[in-house]
């Protein structure tokens, strides 16, 4: 496992030496995020472009606007433009396999960021998909386990706790990985619980609010709602406040401006810190090394630390998105 902060510091020193070389200025890298309507995706692009600028590398960022088909077309466009490396944030982990295959056939480095390539029910996260240059991502199973630690301090111990889950959007590998880690953490601690409701979202506060309204209408006895990202938790907090429910709320994939503000206000009990801008910077680093070093070893898994965020520890997770 390669930890982000130490690795990035070492890389920054190397770029300072290399960026003055004429050949570095001739490089062009492409990036295809999932959708730039999401602040998380924007933060990955910001990190990528900041590192590229420092290294003197030209960039092309193509926004597929949440469409898997457009993401594939955008990657084909980058191949046609003969870019020197491609990064992308997979919208569908299974379909993304075909994107990687096409790019690898052209001998162009391709790095996935934030999300796994490959069926998460058949391939472990750290088992990087063949042909992929590197996967730069949080370990979302660990994210789920960290969220379980938050939950353990909030759930009753004298009876079976009732829990509802706001999932991410269908097709994202993290949906299964985060809930798997969450259950693993609760089970390891011996917590008695029942997941009485689980519903997919579209990653927005609006969907989170609607989903939580449905949860609380059908199960007013809910002890806890677990949101698979900060954004849905923001909407869920509104639903909880509107009816004055005692239900506790936690999230993961946190560290957003709105999420941190909700924790500070006591509307959200806690989340798990991720740094999407750092992920974008690390994605660039792997693209750069693969494009400039003949001895680069493909199939790397690069990850980051995932500290728990509570009101007491907010200072340790400055918002990046």
Q: Are 167 and 198 in contact (CB under 8 A)?
A: yes
pLDDT band at 315; cut points 50, 70, 90: very high
| Per-residue pLDDT tens digits for 94-105 | 999 999 999 999
Q: In a 3-state reduction of DSSP, which class is residue 155?
A: coil
pLDDT for 11: 55
- pLDDT at residue 3 is higher than 80: no
Average pLDDT over the chain, rounded to an integer: 93
Q: Are 165 and 311 in contact (CB under 8 A)?
A: no
- pLDDT at residue 309 is higher than 60: yes
| Mean pLDDT score, 270-294 | 97
- pLDDT at residue 12 is higher than 70: no
Give the burial class of 184: count Cβ atoms within 10 A of its Cβ; 0-12 exposed, 13-18 middle, 19 or more buried: middle
Q: Are 40 and 254 in contact (CB under 8 A)?
A: no
Alpha helices, H only, 89-202: 96-105, 140-152, 173-188
Q: Residue 91: CB partners within 8 Å, gap ≥ 6? A: 34, 35, 64, 66, 67, 68, 71, 171, 172
Which domains are seen in the chain, by residue range? 2-138+275-305 (3.40.50.2300), 141-273 (3.40.50.2300)
| Per-residue pLDDT tens digits for 51-60 | 999 999 999 9
| Mean pLDDT score, 56-78 | 98
Q: Which helix (H) or strand (E) holds 224?
A: strand 224-227
| Mean pLDDT score, 296-321 | 95
pLDDT for 17: 42
| Mean pLDDT score, 166-177 | 91
Q: What is the CA radius of gyration of the chain?
A: 20
CA distance 119 to 122: 5
pLDDT for 142: 96
Q: Residue 312: CB partners within 8 Å, gap ≥ 6? A: none
- Which long-range CB contacts under 8 A does 68-75 form with residues at least 24 apart? 68/92, 68/95, 68/171, 71/32, 71/34, 71/99, 72/98, 72/99, 74/32, 75/30, 75/32, 75/99, 75/102, 75/103
Q: In a 3-state reduction of DSSP, which class is residue 87?
A: strand
For 129, what's the count of Cα atoms within 13 Å in the CB-facing half-sphere? 27
- pLDDT at residue 15 is higher than 60: no
Interior CA angle at 301 toward 55 and 36, to 5°? 60
pLDDT for 318: 93
- List the structure tokens of 126: 């750290």
Q: In a 3-state reduction of DSSP, which class is residue 37?
A: coil
- pLDDT at residue 197 is higher than 60: yes
């Amino acid at each position: 496992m390669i930890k982000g902060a130490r690795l990035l510091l070492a890389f920054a020193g190397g770029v300072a030496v290399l960026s003055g070389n004429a050949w570095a200025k001739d490089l062009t890298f492409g990036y295809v995020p999932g959708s730039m309507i999401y602040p998380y995706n924007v933060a990955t692009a910001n990190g990528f472009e900041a590192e590229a600028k420092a290294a003197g590398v030209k960039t092309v960022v193509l926004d597929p606007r949440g469409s898997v088909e457009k993401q594939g077309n955008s990657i084909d466009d980058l191949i046609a433009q003969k870019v020197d490396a491609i990064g992308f944030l997979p919208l569908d982990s299974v379909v993304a396999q075909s994107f990687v295959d096409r790019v690898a056939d052209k001998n162009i480095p391709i790095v996935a960021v934030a999300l796994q390539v490959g069926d998460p029910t058949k391939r472990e996260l750290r088992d990087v998909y063949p042909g992929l240059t590197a996967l730069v991502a949080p370990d979302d199973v660990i994210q789920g386990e960290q969220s379980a630690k938050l939950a353990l301090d909030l759930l009753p111990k004298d009876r079976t706790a009732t829990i509802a889950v706001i999932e991410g959007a269908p097709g994202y590998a993290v949906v299964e990985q985060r809930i798997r880690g969450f259950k693993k953490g609760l089970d390891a601690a011996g917590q008695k619980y029942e997941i009485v409701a689980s519903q997919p979202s579209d990653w927005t506060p609006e969907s989170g609010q609607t989903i939580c309204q449905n949860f609380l209408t059908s199960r007013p006895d809910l002890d806890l709602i677990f949101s698979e990202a900060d954004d849905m938790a923001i909407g869920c907090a509104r639903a909880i406040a509107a009816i004055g429910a005692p239900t506790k709320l936690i999230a993961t994939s946190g560290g957003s401006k709105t999420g941190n503000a909700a924790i500070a206000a006591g509307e959200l009990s806690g989340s798990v810190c991720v740094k999407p801008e750092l992920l974008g910077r690390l994605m660039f680093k792997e693209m750069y090394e693969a494009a400039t070093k003949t001895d680069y070893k493909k199939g790397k898994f690069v990850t980051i630390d995932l500290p728990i965020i509570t009101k007491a520890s907010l200072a340790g997770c400055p918002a990046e998105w």
